[in-house]
């Protein structure tokens, strides 16, 4: 039986100055006092140049976490199991919650749950929006650039009070982004299903479910879906705020 390549020093993870691909065989699971009971793989963080963080949480035991730090907004997407909000809302797989800074709301999760968590310094414009939660299925799917093989579901309101969008994009096999995007906004991304090829800067990466990506400002980016089923990814982006 050949040894897995990861045990021989190989990984698909590739961390560069302006973008990063983070693949499961190189995840480092840690515990943090901010997340009692949880194990976290912090995949994207300001230490790599990002202005947001993306962490995967797994819960070997029940989790009860305090609110995010001062000035920090949090978006939680349930991947498996159940999470609980202080108002009694239960998040099942593909349910989500937005927690603005200062809302005072922590988060609990059952043993066996898995969550994706984005955090970022919230840039207020007028009153800070209230906490909200919902389910992905209730967010309408819209074609992008008139191509109904590529669909986006937006989980947060487009209201200018929100400084971030968090979306799920799905691609039928063979579908792709219509052009190489370059924009000053950053992305954190988690592949949910399927796979394909992601162009980041001048590199093309094979990607599959479980992979995460950071795209820094202005990174040329493109995705084409491969395989026999749809490819889907969870993606965040700073939004509604200019560069200056």
Q: In the window 54-83, what residues touch ligand UGY (CB under 6 A)? A: none
Taking the CA atoms of the chain, what radius of gyration do you get in angstroms?
18
Q: How far is the CB of 183 from Mn ion (least distance, A)?
A: 6
Q: Token pair of 29, please?
A: 């699971």
If contact means CB under 5 to 8 A according to the sort of partner, which of ligand UGY, Mn ion, none does residue 23 touch?
none
DSSP letter assigned to residue 140: P
Q: How far is the CB of 169 from ligand UGY (least distance, A)?
A: 6
Greatest alpha-carbon pair distance for the chain in Å reads: 61
What is the signed CA dihedral for 68, 56, 167, 97, rounded to 10 degrees?
-40
Q: In the window 144-183, what residues touch ligand UGY (CB under 6 A)? A: 169, 177, 181
User: How many residues lie near ligand UGY (CB under 6 A)?
Assistant: 8
Q: Which residues pair with 200 in a beta bridge?
A: 203, 221
Interaction mask 175-214, Mn ion, x per CB under 5 A: ------x---------------------------------
Phi-psi region of 123 (alpha: psi -120 to 50; beta: other; left: phi over 0): beta
Of 18-26, 29-37, 55-63, 174-182: span binding Mn ion (CB under 5 A): 174-182
State residue 24 phi and psi, 5-degree precision.
Answer: -60, -30
Residue closer to Mn ion, measured from CB, 58 or 187: 187
Among 99, 176, 221, 238, binds ligand UGY (CB under 6 A): 221
State residue 137 phi and psi, 5-degree precision.
Answer: -60, -25
Q: Token pair of 181, please?
A: 């995007």
Does 235 participate in binding ligand UGY (rule CB under 6 A)?
yes
Q: How far is the CB of 233 from ligand UGY (least distance, A)?
A: 7
Of 40-48, 73-81, 98-106, 173-181: span binding Mn ion (CB under 5 A): 173-181
Which residues are CB-neighbours of 48 under 8 A, at least 6 positions away? 15, 20, 214
Classify strands 53-58 and 95-99 as parallel, antiparallel or unpaired. Answer: unpaired
Q: Kindly list the residues in this chain that would bind Mn ion in the complex (CB under 5 A).
A: 181
Q: Kindly list the residues in this chain that would bind ligand UGY in the complex (CB under 6 A).
A: 169, 177, 181, 187, 221, 223, 235, 237
């Amino acid at each position: 039986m050949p040894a897995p390549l990861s045990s021989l020093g190989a990984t698909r993870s590739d961390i560069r100055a302006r973008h990063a691909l983070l693949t499961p065989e190189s995840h480092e699971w840690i515990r943090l006092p901010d997340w009692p009971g949880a194990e976290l793989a912090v995949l994207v963080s300001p230490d790599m140049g990002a202005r947001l963080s993306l962490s995967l949480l797994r819960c070997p035991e029940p989790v009860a976490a305090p609110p995010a730090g001062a000035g920090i907004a949090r978006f939680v997407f349930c991947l498996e199991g159940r999470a609980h909000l202080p108002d009694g809302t239960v998040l099942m797989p593909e349910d989500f919650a937005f927690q603005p800074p200062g809302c005072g709301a922590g988060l609990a999760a059952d043993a066996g749950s898995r969550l994706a968590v984005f955090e970022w310094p919230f840039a207020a414009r007028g009153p800070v929006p209230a906490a909200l939660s919902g389910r992905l299925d209730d967010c309408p799917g819209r074609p992008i650039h008139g191509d109904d093989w590529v669909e986006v579901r937006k989980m947060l309101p487009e209201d200018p009070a929100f400084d971030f969008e968090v979306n799920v994009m799905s691609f039928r096999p063979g579908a792709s982004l219509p052009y190489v995007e370059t924009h000053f906004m950053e992305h954190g991304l988690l592949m949910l299903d399927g796979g394909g090829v992601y162009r980041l800067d001048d590199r093309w990466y094979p990607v599959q479910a479980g992979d995460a990506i950071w795209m820094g400002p202005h990174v040329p980016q493109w995705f084409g879906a491969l395989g026999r089923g749809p490819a889907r990814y969870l993606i965040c982006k700073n939004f509604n705020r200019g560069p200056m």
